[in-house]
Amino acid sequence: MTKNNLSQSILDCLGAGIIAIDKETKVCFVNSFAEKILGWPHEELIHQPISLLLKDQMLDKATLFFKKNGESFSVEYFRTPLLEGTKNHGSVLVFFDVTERKTLEQQKDEFISNLSHELRSPLTIIKGAIWNLKDGVMGKLTDKQTKLVETTSRHIDNLSRLIENVLEVSRLQSGKATIHRRRVNLLHLIEEVVSDYHLIAKEKYIQLREELPKELPSAYVDGDAVTQVLHNLLNNALRFARKKIWITAQPSLVKGFLQVGVLDDGLGIAKEDQGRLFNKFEQLQRPSGAAGYKGTGLGLSICKEIVAHHQGKIWVESELGEGAQFYFTLPQYDPVTDLRFALRQTMDEASRSGTPLALAVIALDNFRSVKGGKGQELETILHGIEDEVKKSSLRKKDLLFRYTLKDFVMILPQTPAEGAATIATRVEQLIQERLVTELHLVQKPLLRVGIVSYPNDATSVDRLLEVALERIKKGEGEMV
How many residues in total does the chain contain? Answer: 480
Provide mean pLDDT across the span 353-378: 75
Give 212's pLDDT tier (boundaries 50, 70, 90). Answer: very high
pLDDT score of 373: 55
Sort strands 27-30 and 314-318 into parallel, antiparallel or unpaired: unpaired
Nearest-angstrom CA–CA distance, 455 and 420: 15
Q: Is the pLDDT of residue 324 over 80?
A: yes
pLDDT score of 57: 76
pLDDT score of 431: 86
Percent of the chain predicted with pLDDT > 90: 24
DSSP per position, 84-103: ETTEEEEEEEEEEE-HHHHH
pLDDT score of 477: 43
- Please answer whether residues 219 and 258 qualify as being in contact, where contact means their C-beta atoms are separated by less than 8 angstroms: yes
Query: What mean pLDDT is reported for the chain?
Result: 83
Provide mean pLDDT across the span 3-23: 73
Q: Is the pLDDT of residue 440 over 60?
A: yes
Q: Is the pLDDT of residue 371 over 70?
A: no
DSSP per position, 19-32: EEEETTSBEEEE-H
Better pLDDT: 12 or 110: 110
Give 5's pLDDT tier (boundaries 50, 70, 90). Answer: low
Instruction: Give pTM, 2 decimals.
Output: 0.62
Element (H, E) at 436: helix 417-439
Provide mean pLDDT across the span 421-434: 89
Alpha-helical segments (H) within 135-207: 143-174, 186-195, 198-203
CB hemisphere CA count around 479 (13 angstroms): 21
pLDDT tens, position by position, 78-137: 888 888 878 888 899 899 888 888 887 777 767 766 776 677 778 888 888 888 888 888
Better pLDDT: 72 or 291: 72
Considering only CA atoms, which of 263, 239, 238, 241 is closest in space to residue 250? 263
Provide mean pLDDT across the span 360-369: 77
How many Å separate Cα 202 from the centre of its chain? 32
pLDDT score of 479: 39
pLDDT score of 444: 75
Nearest-angstrom CA–CA distance, 370 and 397: 31
Q: Is the pLDDT of residue 298 over 50?
A: yes
pLDDT tens, position by position, 162-174: 777 677 777 776 6
Provide mean pLDDT across the span 230-234: 93
